[in-house]
């Protein structure tokens, strides 16, 4: 039987695994050259859907907290991610982004009081090495702006994760997720219109199917699972799960897109798995996992997290 911590980890891991399919969906189903449009569609409709389902708006300090978290976890992260994707080969961007667990560990030590262990540092560095083997090509070019954007994306992601942990929302999980997606989508919308212009006048059935997948599965479901894990687990543990995204992206490219898979990439995948497992191991005196169980509130009819 799996213990509660392992179950929560496995469910949370579904989020970065889903995000790992984004590249295949984007290249196979979406119109080319519109990455920011895809980012807006991933965020805004999904957020509005969750807000409509939960029928819950922020109150008090959560108006500005939702805006800050939405900017970090969604708006700024997506924008920097796509700048890096345009200016760098995917392998370079993924390798730079893999420093997020190390950044999260450092921020968690300062803001959350989590212990920064040598094992965590070694696991984080090993994760970066594994991702570089998995996705980095020998002829990869470097671009200063692209590297800065990729590093900035890792910084805002780590900051958003730690602040999401520090600011425990009293609202239902789906409502809090929806607020952040709406905030991030609203911030991205004018940027997308300025950079890419109006959306295409005609979209194919494949385009609509791709956008629907990114909205419902890639954002509404995946971010709900991600933030659910953040409520129950240490922030650093959750961020280590993000190493699964390049692994899944590489595997999907091999299985579905006919891309080759070298021995170095296989070795890199094994190194990433080892780093991920090492990053999750806890001593007996380590922090306990909070139960992410929910119950139906009799008055509001919302799913409310119970610790």
**Average pLDDT value for residue range 115-122:** 87
| Residue boundaries of the structural domains of the chain | 4-305
Task: Provide the pLDDT for residue 163.
Answer: 94
Whole-number Å distance between alpha carbons of 238 and 13? 8
Residue 297 pLDDT grade (very low, low, confident, very high; cuts 50, 70, 90):
very low
Task: Provide the pLDDT for residue 283.
Answer: 47
Span 62-83, pLDDT tens digits: 999 999 999 999 999 888 887 8
**Residue 291 pLDDT > 70:** no
**Residue 295 pLDDT > 50:** no
**Average pLDDT value for residue range 147-166:** 91
What secondary structure does DSSP assign to 206-242, as a single string? HHHHHHHIIIIIIIIIHHHHHHHHHHHS-HHHHHHHT
Out of 99-103, 144-148, 280-284, least confident range: 280-284
pTM above 0.85, yes or no: no
Task: Provide the pLDDT for residue 185.
Answer: 95
Percent of the chain topping pLDDT 70: 86
**Average pLDDT value for residue range 28-47:** 89
């Amino acid at each position: 039987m799996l213990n509660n911590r392992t179950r929560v980890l496995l469910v949370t891991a579904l989020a970065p695994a889903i995000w790992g399919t984004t590249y295949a969906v984007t290249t196979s189903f979406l119109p080319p050259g519109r990455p920011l449009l895809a980012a807006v569609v991933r965020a805004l409709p999904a957020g509005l859907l969750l807000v409509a389902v939960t029928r819950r708006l922020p109150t008090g300090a959560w108006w500005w907290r939702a805006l800050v978290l939405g900017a970090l976890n969604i708006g700024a992260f997506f924008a920097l991610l796509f700048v890096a994707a345009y200016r760098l080969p995917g392998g370079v961007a993924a390798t730079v982004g893999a420093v997020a667990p190390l950044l999260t560990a450092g921020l968690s030590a300062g803001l959350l009081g989590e212990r920064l262990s040598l094992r965590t540092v070694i696991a984080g560095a090993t994760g970066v090495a594994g991702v570089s083997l998995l996705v980095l090509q020998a002829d990869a070019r470097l671009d200063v702006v692209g590297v800065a954007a990729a590093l900035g994306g890792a910084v805002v992601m780590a900051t958003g994760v730690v602040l999401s942990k520090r600011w425990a929302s009293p609202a239902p999980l789906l409502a809090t997720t929806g607020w952040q997606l709406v905030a991030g989508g609203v911030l991205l919308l004018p940027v997308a219109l300025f950079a890419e212009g109006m959306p295409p006048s005609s979209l194919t059935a494949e385009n609509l199917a791709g956008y629907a997948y990114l909205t419902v599965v890639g954002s509404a479901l995946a971010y709900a699972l991600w933030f659910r894990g953040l409520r129950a687990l240490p922030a650093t543990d959750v961020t280590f799960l993000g190493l699964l995204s390049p692994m899944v992206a590489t595997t999907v490219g091999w299985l579905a897109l006919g891309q080759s898979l070298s021995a170095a990439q296989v070795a890199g995948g094994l190194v990433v798995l080892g780093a991920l497992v090492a990053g999750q191991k806890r001593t007996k005196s380590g922090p306990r996992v909070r139960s992410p169980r929910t119950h139906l509130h009799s008055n509001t009819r919302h799913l409310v997290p119970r610790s």
